[in-house]
Structure 1
């Protein structure tokens, strides 16, 4: 019997790696007739360092995230996936993506890009992807390639 996934989570952070994870997640969700949950985490720790913390800043970031996520949902639907929705969460990306969201939403597969946007955080605190792979209670697919299993082409410097 083949493994069947029912509730698939994909982390969306705006990086090219997350884009590859999204593309693969759409195809896996279609093959499994699964629910696809797109998750974007607004890291509230980033706002703690702003001396004149302004709620308008959080609202602006949230509105931008909503528009971006709605575009991802539409792309998934345009590619034949019906059961797709997005979630915008606030807090630590590691714990939300690796523990809290999968438990709350009964996720059975997480797709995540091999690396995300924040290189400094990866060096200082460790990778979100590494944390998710070590702590998630479900299967995790770390995406490194495109839909044709070719490595992502990085521009030469």
Structure 2
């Protein structure tokens, strides 16, 4: 069994989709994965001639991409052409083919846009249980630095496990990042007690951070940890820019409303403005962690 067996690559034939394809091919080569290609056409086209033309054009474009993947020596399946709602078809296809990951572009957005994430990508992240890798227009898979925020939850535990294996596999530096909040914005009259309280909160957070990290094997890995105080979403975005991170790996809780991560709606804020590619994980790993552990055990022996 491969570490990352099947990748569902959703393409919309846009200008940025060729960069998404390059990333998918690079990822498939790194993990010996199989790429399943999908494109979704609208099913509300009333003009029969237009529908036939669009269908024919989509089949040709899918075949061109399919041949590019084969030429790169990557395993691939027959391209899938669906009709109807984009995100619903992508999610259903991911489930029916039991893929390890959905890989999709961020959508055609301008750098000046406040919200950088496309609607389809946002809905897939919110509604799919599969890990989702969103490729930003300006990024490829040349990942040198990975940022993984954690909040000690089971979702962030899953994210960190996958981030460690990804960093080890592609020889990238890993930043394990945590944020704690001080709820008293204004100090009381007794400033000394206020500072002492903050010190106690920070000390407790550091202890919890260290206990959390004891559950992970970080040997033979270039990594560092960092704690910041403030708003989690703001501090995560600052850290991504400070470290010039190429990839964010973060866990989602899958609560109602727009996907919520870490504390409240942190993910909603982060993934809308994140400057790099990112992976969200909800209830499934994208790397076969048991197999990766066995490989490492064999290597150690």
Task: Say whether the fold is shared (TM-score over 0.5).
Answer: yes
Number of the residue aligned with 2:194: 54
Question: Given the alignment, which residue of 236, 243, 247 partners 1:109?
Answer: 247
Query: Separation in 2 of the partners of 1:41 and 1:88?
Result: 6
Number of the residue aligned with 1:94: 233
Query: Separation in 1 of the partners of 2:273 and 2:233?
Result: 9
**Per-residue deviation at 1:62?**
1.4
Tell me, yes or no, if structure 1 residue 25 matches structure 2 residue 163: yes
Query: Separation in 2 of the partners of 1:36 and 1:64?
Result: 23
Query: Separation in 1 of the partners of 2:172 and 2:211?
Result: 20
- Please identify the structure whose Cα radius of gyration is greater: 2
Query: Separation in 1 of the partners of 2:212 and 2:143?
Result: 21
Query: Separation in 2 of the partners of 1:81 and 1:69?
Result: 20
- If the length of structure 1 is used for normalisation, what is the TM-score? 0.76
Number of the residue aligned with 2:224: 85
Question: Structure 1 110/131 Cα, relative in aligned 2: closer, same or farther at 3 Å?
Answer: same
Number of the residue aligned with 1:154: none
Query: Separation in 2 of the partners of 1:88 and 1:63?
Result: 11
Query: Separation in 2 of the partners of 1:79 and 1:141?
Result: 20
Q: How many residue pairs were aligned?
A: 140
Query: Separation in 1 of the partners of 2:156 and 2:244?
Result: 21
Query: Separation in 1 of the partners of 2:218 and 2:285?
Result: 13
Deviations 1:57-103, CA, capped at 9 Å, x for gaps: 22122122223333455544x35442111100111111111x21100
Partner SS state of residue 131, structure 1: helix
**Per-residue deviation at 1:21?**
0.8
Structure 2 residue ranges without an equivalent (≥5): 1-24, 27-140, 254-260, 289-301
Deviations 1:6-40, CA, capped at 9 Å, x for gaps: 11111111111111111111111111111110111
Deviations 1:81-140, CA, capped at 9 Å, x for gaps: 42111100111111111x21100111111111113454xxx3xxxx10111110110011
Question: Structure 1 7/149 Cα, relative in aligned 2: closer, same or farther at 3 Å?
Answer: closer
Q: Contact (CA 8 Å) 1:41, 1:92: kept in 2 or not?
A: yes
Partner SS state of residue 112, structure 1: strand
**Per-residue deviation at 1:4?**
3.2
In angstroms, what is the RMSD of aligned CA positions?
2.6
Query: Separation in 2 of the partners of 1:147 and 1:81?
Result: 22
Structure 1 residue ranges without an equivalent (≥5): 151-157
Tell me, yes or no, if structure 1 residue 66 matches structure 2 residue 206: yes
- If the length of structure 2 is used for normalisation, what is the TM-score? 0.42
